[in-house]
Chains A and B, each alone.
Chain A
């Protein structure tokens, strides 16, 4: 028992150091950050079109202007959680040999990439938050069902969704050990998933078949689920199912990564990595 708590503690200490380094690294690129901020506001463009629809036709499937505004303003922050370039960063490291250095470190490669992601996300969100707050005030009409218990649930959902998103991305990244197409395959996965996650449009606005499929697939966990939770559109049954699905897929992909990693290492060493 002490062995596990010991290694858990050591991992936690390692994470603290790695995340701090990742934060410093990410901050070095703050010139580009301004531009990333612009692209992060893309959800607001989708929102404007929906507001047009509601203006001309009235509420869509019961969603009012206020609902759309609230959804997309929060989405500008939440979408950041799933949009990671992990697969391409990983692929780059494989091609230019940095992976060999990463393999020599005493901390697992998975944790190195995860802490790097945490650093990037924290910096991006820190810069994005004030912009989104200003946008929310400018748009007006933004309302959330915010009690402290619900906010805690939303935070938990976002955290678990982030972990799932990273584990899923890294499972795809493993393909890079065998093929040059890991990025393209991940793009296909993400693209198809965009319809089932709440990215293209809030899931309640999609046909029933897609909505049912989305409830059991991993895509909703980091996007639609926290947003619907924040907007107060889920009853406790839905919430429980949502968390169960997220945790289930997280465990599943962690397992896939674990198995795949062993095979990938063998291959990497076989071809002289």
Chain B
């Protein structure tokens, strides 16, 4: 194992954090690979749920060629991106969010705060769930299938926009998760926090245009669900709004900044487990 002192002295902060991330993730993988049967079983279930979602959404198209301006293959792109974004949530956010209750109740948070690395980094990225490793990749495959079936090849610009918007969407999702983690410092529990985030992300299974009126506005402006799957999908399909290329990263930065501020404020008012 790597010597802790060697990590802290003589390496730039960015390299240090990257090496830590590598250690954390190798650790998580090693732990979860102990349960090889579960690993395989979860892979099978990932494929099953992907097929289930793809076929389920197809029922609407028995009666229409287009719903809300989206054809079936175009909709599959959104469903695929949902699996990617949701997979990232389950792998990187859920394990850490779930542990917040334990950190606070057991006083582990105090312990984390004494470590020479940023507590936000530890709390956010310490654990990675390996069981859903296949979901992000499967999601991309489904999106590619949808693209092919809708006869669209993204231009270089379209693909680049897609990457920007997808990353912005994931960052926004992280910002919401961080805000929830901060809230759990106050409520001394993160129970149900993952359910809230999951509920929000679940609405991204479908493009935001399929919801109507108030709900659609809410999911674009109130809760930034449209940024998760709808906007990246539109970029891939060549029907996106160009302004989003500026707006999305700005919103991503703003939400992360706000969430980080909330986190710092929560830590300030955190008086420790022993008080």
Contact A201 B199 (CB under 8 A): no
User: Chain B residues with Cβ under 8 A from A244's Cβ?
Assistant: none
Q: A188-B45, A200-B56 are in contact. Are A53 and B37 (CB under 8 A)?
A: no
Contact of A184 among B35, B45, B202, B203 (CB under 8 A): B45
Which one, B108-116, B140-148, B170-178, B207-215, is touching chain A?
B207-215
Flag if B63 contacts A60 (CB, 8 Å): yes
Asked if B60 contacts A53 (CB within 8 A), the reply is yes
Q: Are B63 and A53 in contact (CB under 8 A)?
A: yes
Neighbour of B41 across the interface among A53, A181, A200, CB < 8 A = A181
Tell me if B10 counts as interface (CB < 8 A to partner A): no
Distance (whole angstroms) from the CB of A163 to the closest CB of chain B = 26
A60 — which chain B residues lie within 8 A by C-beta? 62-64
- In the complex, A205→B56 CA distance in Å? 12
Q: Which residues of B contact A36 (CB under 8 A)?
A: 195
Which of A38-46, A108-116, A264-272 has 4 or more CB atoms under 8 Å from chain B? Answer: A38-46
Q: Is B191 an interface residue (CB 8 A)?
A: yes
B173 to chain A, nearest CB (A): 17
Which DSSP category, helix, strand, loop or mixed, fits chain B's interface? helix
| Cα A246 to Cα B45 with chains together (Å) | 28
| In the complex, per-residue mask of B192-212: 1 if CB is within 8 Å of any chain A CB, else 0 | 100110110011001000111
Would you call B64 and A56 a contact (CB within 8 A)? Answer: yes
What A residues does B206 contact at CB under 8 A?
A: 45, 49
Provide the A91-135 mask, 1 if CB < 8 A to any CB of B, else 0: 000000000000000000000000000000000000000000000
Q: Given A31-B192, A35-B192, A188-B45, answer yes or no on A57-B199 (Cβ-Cβ < 8 Å).
A: no
Tell me if B67 is interfacial: C-beta within 8 Å of chain A: yes
CB contact under 8 A between A191 and B210, given known A45-B203, A61-B63: no
Min CB gap A34→B, angstroms: 8
Q: Cβ of B196: which chain A residues have Cβ within 8 Å of it?
A: 35, 38
- For residues 29 through 87 of chain B, which have their beta carbon under 8 Å from a beta carbon of chain A? 35, 37-38, 41-42, 44-45, 48-49, 52, 55-56, 59-60, 62-64, 66-68
Complex: chain B residue closest to A38, CB-CB: B199
The count of chain A contact residues (Cβ–Cβ below 8 Å) is 32
Contacts of A34 in B (CB 8 A): 192
Q: B48 to A45, Cβ gap below 8 A? A: no
B71 to chain A, nearest CB (A): 13
Which residues of the partner chain A approach B198 to less than 8 Å between Cβ atoms?
Answer: 39
Residue of A whose beta carbon sits closest to that of B206: A49
Q: Which of A24-71 contact B (CB under 8 A)?
A: 31-32, 34-36, 38-39, 42, 45, 48-53, 56-57, 60-61
Closest chain B residue to A58 by CB distance?
A: B63
Chain A proximity of B59: nearest CB distance (Å): 5
Q: How many residues of B contact A (CB 8 A)?
A: 34
Judge whether A212 is part of the interface by a CB distance below 8 angstroms.
no
A205–B62 Cα distance when bound, in Å, is 8
A187 sits at the interface (CB 8 A): yes
Query: Quick check: B37 and A180 within 8 Å, CB to CB?
Result: yes
Q: In whole Å, how far is A111's beta carbon from the nearest beta carbon of chain B? A: 28
Q: Are B66 and A56 in contact (CB under 8 A)?
A: yes
**Which residue in chain B gives the minimum CB-CB distance to A48?**
B211
Q: Which residues of A contact B189 (CB under 8 A)?
A: 31
Q: Which residue of A lies closest to B66 (CB)?
A: A56
B44: A residues at CB distance < 8 A = 184
Say whether A256 faces chain B, with CB atoms less than 8 Å apart. Answer: no
CB proximity of A63 to chain B, nearest CB, Å: 9
Cβ A53 vs Cβ B211 within 8 A: no
Query: Which single member of A35, A49, A184, A191 contacts B60 (CB below 8 Å)?
Result: A49
In the complex, what's the smallest C-beta–C-beta distance from A93 to chain B, in angstroms? 19
Interface residues of A in 184-217 (CB under 8 A from B): 184, 187-188, 191, 194-195, 200-201, 205-207
Q: Contacts of A194 on B, CB cut-off 8 Å?
A: 52, 56
Interface residues of B (CB under 8 A from A): 35, 37-38, 41-42, 44-45, 48-49, 52, 55-56, 59-60, 62-64, 66-68, 189, 191-192, 195-196, 198-199, 202-203, 206, 210-212, 215
**6 interchain residue pairs of minimum CB distance:** A60-B63, A35-B192, A35-B195, A32-B192, A201-B59, A57-B64
A to B CB contacts below 8 Å, 14 in the list: A32-B191, A35-B192, A35-B196, A38-B195, A39-B198, A39-B199, A45-B203, A49-B67, A50-B60, A56-B66, A180-B37, A187-B48, A188-B48, A194-B56
Residues of chain A whose beta carbon lies under 8 Å from any beta carbon of chain B = 31-32, 34-36, 38-39, 42, 45, 48-53, 56-57, 60-61, 180-181, 184, 187-188, 191, 194-195, 200-201, 205-207
- Apart from A184-B41, A194-B56, list 10 A-B contacts with CB within 8 A: A39-B199, A45-B206, A45-B211, A49-B206, A50-B60, A53-B60, A53-B64, A56-B67, A184-B45, A188-B45
